[in-house]
Structure 1
Amino acid sequence: MQSDTLKVTVPLLGLMNINFFNVAYKMLGIYEELEEINRQKSMRHLGLISTVFDNVSHSRWDYLMLQCGITELVKKMHAGTEYFALGTIKINGKEYDGESIIKTWFMFSNFGHLKNTLEMKKQ
């Protein structure tokens, strides 16, 4: 199984290693191929609101890494217990890891976010 680990500084959580494997690894490849990572790094997550409130001036990419980082924390909190929250899912007879599916969902929901619509341009 192919995988990649990104070492990123996550808002509120600090420096983290975030693992991408299975379908999340494939989606990360699409992000890289289409330069979506750089685009999201250049976008403020909350647009104009980020200029008003302290501590909310992070990028769209930082927000995505926060979502994926929380997934890492949930996995660690419940590892080895019967309450392992992320589990697995079978789709057409093939089993997928829940962590990978959730991270892929986060990436899909952030992909292209606001592209050519309300992006805030630097003045």
Structure 2
Amino acid sequence: MVLENKKDYLWFTSWEITLKIENRIIGGLCFKGCPDKKGRVEIAYEMQDECRCKGYMTEAVIELINWAFTQEKVLSVIAETEKNNLPSHRVLEKIGMEKYEEKEKMFWWRINKI
């Protein structure tokens, strides 16, 4: 994908979350491709279990979304979570995302550019 979209490589880049005090990677996040024709871009993220519920992912997702909203083509950021992934639900709720769709095992979340 990156080779096909060299000018848009940031939409295909995985960003690592580093715990500076221990100099180790504790998680990561990314966009799942370029914004679509409706201006939506999807995010994904993961965090090591022992580092959950400490605010690290909330901080990282806020910064990722803030950057996305500086991009002209982005009108909204979306995310998909498993229904039983409560830590992920809390992250998205804290940053102001709202559930907008429910599937059998998944919730879809969205936040719009203001």
TM-score range (shorter-chain normalised) is under 0.3
Which structure has more strand as a fraction of its residues? Answer: 2
Larger RCO: Structure 1 or Structure 2 (Cα < 8 Å, ≥ 6 residues apart)?
1
Which structure has more helix as a fraction of its residues? Answer: 1
Q: Normalising by the residue count of structure 1, what TM-score does the alignment of the two structures yield?
A: 0.23
Q: Normalising by the residue count of structure 2, what TM-score does the alignment of the two structures yield?
A: 0.24
